């Protein structure tokens, strides 16, 4: 379903999803030509991150993980500065000090990215602690995958958040649905005895919501409820968003397993190829949201293609900007250790 929002905002959500999709696809293509190191893509989770984070306000903070690109882009971080950072250029968000794993954009509410599993949970809790102590109307969002629940830091953090009724939302993006993991010698998947995962919040008396992460409207609604609770002093919420593991995320290094996304699949069922038909037909949240907007008559197929064209150009320009950017002065490696 589509979120209960004015039409321009609904289209803006689509635009943000496309920015992420085209960004990540470009990165995978770029990795074929350049050694850009190990990285993780957000393909298949755009319909979670975009509606979830679109509702944050200026001053709200979010703490993400190694799979951070989508989150930063969802809040408007400049894709050109992000590609530049990933390529290790001086014009990158962190001037080349961080790379893909540590992209920071405080002006968009991302103070840092921790690449240690579970590292973000105390930090997000701490930001909420600061908001609570400063008595400011701000919320903090902790973004993590199901694997982070295996770390002790999560359990210590949510306990503190619950005890102090902190304005924090733990958004667990469970992207392990249909992941074959080790059974197929693929990128491993999480190992957790608790089921459902929401039990791991309920035991701390934290309210929980489970949503289909490919359902933009459902995610929007769940986060609206959680953010409202946080802002009104009701304390933390645990949201579990379920998404199917994108086939391209299955190997250790992402591959364009389902090809470059063809948005016509959203309205032309006959065009969907046999390979990965389930992905294109039902599991890809971006296609699903596009389909919903077109079906509801909120956008035309022409609008979608035009928007996609704009976004694709923006990303192409971003990549070109990054490629054309200089590398940092090696001596800068020794600068900026202390504030």
- Per the structure block, which two tokens stand in for 258? 């389902």
Least distance in angstroms from the C-beta of 179 to other proteins: 13
Contact residue for other proteins among 9, 37, 233, 282 (CB under 8 A): 37
Count the Cβ atoms, other than its own, within 10 Å of residue 330.
7
Contact residue for other proteins among 2, 105, 174, 208 (CB under 8 A): 105
Nearer to other proteins, 114 or 249 (CB): 114
Nearer to other proteins, 85 or 284 (CB): 85
Least distance in angstroms from the C-beta of 135 to other proteins: 10
Contact residue for other proteins among 94, 175, 214, 258 (CB under 8 A): 94
73: Cβ–Cβ under 8 A, 6 or more apart, which residues?
16, 19, 20, 23, 79, 82
Longest CA–CA span in the chain (Å) reads 58
Contact residue for other proteins among 42, 131, 279, 289 (CB under 8 A): 131
Q: Does 195 bind other proteins (CB under 8 A)?
A: no
Nearer to other proteins, 160 or 239 (CB): 160
Rounded to whole angstroms, the Cα distance separating 68 from 104 reads 10
Radius of gyration of the chain (CA): 19
Nearer to other proteins, 173 or 215 (CB): 173
Least distance in angstroms from the C-beta of 34 to other proteins: 10
φ, ψ dihedrals at 243, nearest 5°: -130, 155
- Segment contacting other proteins by CB under 8 A, of 41-49, 142-150, 195-203, 218-226: 142-150
Please count the residues of the chain: 339
Rounded to whole angstroms, the Cα distance separating 111 from 103 reads 9
Nearer to other proteins, 190 or 210 (CB): 190
Nearer to other proteins, 51 or 98 (CB): 98
Q: Does 79 bind other proteins (CB under 8 A)?
A: no
Is residue 200 within 8 Å of residue 194, measured between CB atoms? yes
- Segment contacting other proteins by CB under 8 A, of 42-50, 133-141, 169-177, 217-225: 133-141
Least distance in angstroms from the C-beta of 26 to other proteins: 19
Contact residue for other proteins among 51, 79, 96, 247 (CB under 8 A): 96
Contact residue for other proteins among 3, 88, 236, 285 (CB under 8 A): 88
103: Cβ–Cβ under 8 A, 6 or more apart, which residues?
68, 69, 72, 77, 82, 85, 86, 93, 94, 110, 113
Window 317-336: residues binding other proteins (CB under 8 A)? 327-334, 336
Window 254-313: residues binding other proteins (CB under 8 A)? none
Q: Which residues pair with 240 in a beta bridge?
A: 172, 210
Q: Does 6 bind other proteins (CB under 8 A)?
A: no
Rounded to whole angstroms, the Cα distance separating 69 from 113 reads 10
**Which is nearest to 227 in space by CA: 162, 108, 136, 139?**
139
Q: Does 170 bind other proteins (CB under 8 A)?
A: no
Nearer to other proteins, 38 or 205 (CB): 38
Q: Measuring CA to CA, how many Å separate 155 from each of 125, 138, 160, 208? A: 11, 23, 9, 15
Is residue 136 within 8 Å of residue 101, measured between CB atoms? no
Nearer to other proteins, 123 or 169 (CB): 123
């Amino acid at each position: 379903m589509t979120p209960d929002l004015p039409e321009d905002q609904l289209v803006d959500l689509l635009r943000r999803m496309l920015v992420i999709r085209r960004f990540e696809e470009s990165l995978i293509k770029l990795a074929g030509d350049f050694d850009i190191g190990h990285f993780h893509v957000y393909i298949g989770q755009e319909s979670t991150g975009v509606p979830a984070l679109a509702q944050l306000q200026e001053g709200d903070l979010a703490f993400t993980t190694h799979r951070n690109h989508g989150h930063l882009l969802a809040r408007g971080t400049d894709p050109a500065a992000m590609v530049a950072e990933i390529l290790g250029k001086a014009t990158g968000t962190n001037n080349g000090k961080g790379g893909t794993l540590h992209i920071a954009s405080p002006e968009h509410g991302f103070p840092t990215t921790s690449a240690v599993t579970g590292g973000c949970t105390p930090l997000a809790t701490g930001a909420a602690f600061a908001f609570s102590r400063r008595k400011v109307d701000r919320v903090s969002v902790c973004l993590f995958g199901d694997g982070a629940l295996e770390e002790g830091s999560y359990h210590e953090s949510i306990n503190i958040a619950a005890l102090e009724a902190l304005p924090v939302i733990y958004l667990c993006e469970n992207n392990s649905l249909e992941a074959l993991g080790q059974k197929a010698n693929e990128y491993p998947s999480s190992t957790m005895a608790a089921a459902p995962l929401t039990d791991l919040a309920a035991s701390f008396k934290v309210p929980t919501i489970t949503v289909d992460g490919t359902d933009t409207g459902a995610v929007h609604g769940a986060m609206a409820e959680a953010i409202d609770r946080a802002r009104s002093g009701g304390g933390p919420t645990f949201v579990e968003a379920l998404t199917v593991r994108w086939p391209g995320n299955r190997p250790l290094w992402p591959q364009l397993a389902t090809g470059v996304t063809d948005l016509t699949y959203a309205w032309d069922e006959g065009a969907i190829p046999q390979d990965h038909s389930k992905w294109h037909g039902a599991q890809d949240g971006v296609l699903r949201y596009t389909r919903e907007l077109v079906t509801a008559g909120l956008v035309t197929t022409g609008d979608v293609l035009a928007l996609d064209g704009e976004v694709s150009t923006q990303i192409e320009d971003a990549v070109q900007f990054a490629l054309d950017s200089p590398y940092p002065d090696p001596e800068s490696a020794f600068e900026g250790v202390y504030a």
